[in-house]
């Protein structure tokens, strides 16, 4: 189930509020061992060995949550990046020791032989809290007390991404984006598909100067929505250059004019997240900054607003 973007509800009494954590969405299947499945259906268990202590469980259960790396008490998407696509067992073990993750659990979908998705959110939440999932590397997402307006202001003060508002009587809708879960962001972000890059200058000469990015239109065709030239660390640039080198193609994978010379086009398979100020009237991102790669498929990227 996915949250829909929106504004704070007018009726606080009918909603629960949780922090919007900046991490990787994952379902956890807890049996004799733990199996973690990403939003696009990949088994990512091996990448997060510090979470294995959740298992075994009797009865077995299925949970939903966000894998987060905390730095100074706040979620850090940048600290999470080096771990997202790591495949070397030795490197994974080293990163798990140096930048351990926390699985922030916010829903209970199944327990024993019983599915819970048709229960109201509040019932599922109460059952989740009864299990008591608190450990060195996992915790239940806190339910926040107070008015939505005050809670959002507090997340802004703490430089957090925002809030998730959840209807107390809402069912869990697998695979659907619903306003029963509404995300209210302090930071405006969007998922985008990388379609090409241009070389930089100065200290970034010969490396990536900017990425060309796209999103689907309402018919599913990719359209260019801007170039992203800020927000990168040196490690991000090195990783992106290695990935994009294997994806080069001769033609742009978009249907509109990307309006750029000297572009190295790539197959549209990598998805990233950008922060930006607004969409322009022309449908281009204003002042986008790179935040990092995302573990989702291009067909899961939301269309450009119309």
Instruction: List the catalytic residues.
Output: 20
CB-based contact 22:47 (threshold 8 Å): no
Q: Which helix (H) or strand (E) holds 68?
A: strand 61-68
CB atoms near residue 295 (< 10 Å): 17
Gap between the Cα atoms of 192 and 183, Å rounded: 18
Nearest alpha-carbon partner for 68 in 54, 79, 82, 55: 79
Coil, strand or helix at 208: strand
Cis check: omega of the bond before 59, within 30 degrees of 0: yes
Nearest alpha-carbon partner for 174 in 107, 271, 273, 102: 107
């Amino acid at each position: 189930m996915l949250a829909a973007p929106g504004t704070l509800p007018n009726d606080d009494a009918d909603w629960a509020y949780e922090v919007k954590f900046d991490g990787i969405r994952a379902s956890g299947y807890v049996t004799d061992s733990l199996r973690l499945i990403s939003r696009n259906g990949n088994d990512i268990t091996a990448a997060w060995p510090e979470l294995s202590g959740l298992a075994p469980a009797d009865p077995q259960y299925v949970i939903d949550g966000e894998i987060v790396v905390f730095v100074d008490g706040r979620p850090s998407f940048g600290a999470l990046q080096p771990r997202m696509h790591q495949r070397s067992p030795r490197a994974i073990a080293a990163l798990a020791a140096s930048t351990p993750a926390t699985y922030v659990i916010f829903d209970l979908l199944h327990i024993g032989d019983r599915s819970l998705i048709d229960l109201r959110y509040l019932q599922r939440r109460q059952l989740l809290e009864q299990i008591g999932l608190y450990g060195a590397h996992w915790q239940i997402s806190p339910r926040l007390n107070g008015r939505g307006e005050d809670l959002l202001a507090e997340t802004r003060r703490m430089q957090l991404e925002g809030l998730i508002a959840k209807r107390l009587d809402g069912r869990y809708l697998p695979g659907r984006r619903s306003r029963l879960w509404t995300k209210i962001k302090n930071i405006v972000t969007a998922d985008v598909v990388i379609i090409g890059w241009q070389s930089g200058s100065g200290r970034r000469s010969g490396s990536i100067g900017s990425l060309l990015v796209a999103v689907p239109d309402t018919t599913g065709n990719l359209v260019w929505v801007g170039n992203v030239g800020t927000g990168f660390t040196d490690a991000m640039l090195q990783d992106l250059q290695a990935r994009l080198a294997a994806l080069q193609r001769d033609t742009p994978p978009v249907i509109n004019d990307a309006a750029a010379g000297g572009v190295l086009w790539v197959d549209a398979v990598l998805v990233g997240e950008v922060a930006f100020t607004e969409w322009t009237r022309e449908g281009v991102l204003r002042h986008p900054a790179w935040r990092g790669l995302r573990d989702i498929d291009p067909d899961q990227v939301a269309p450009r607003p119309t």
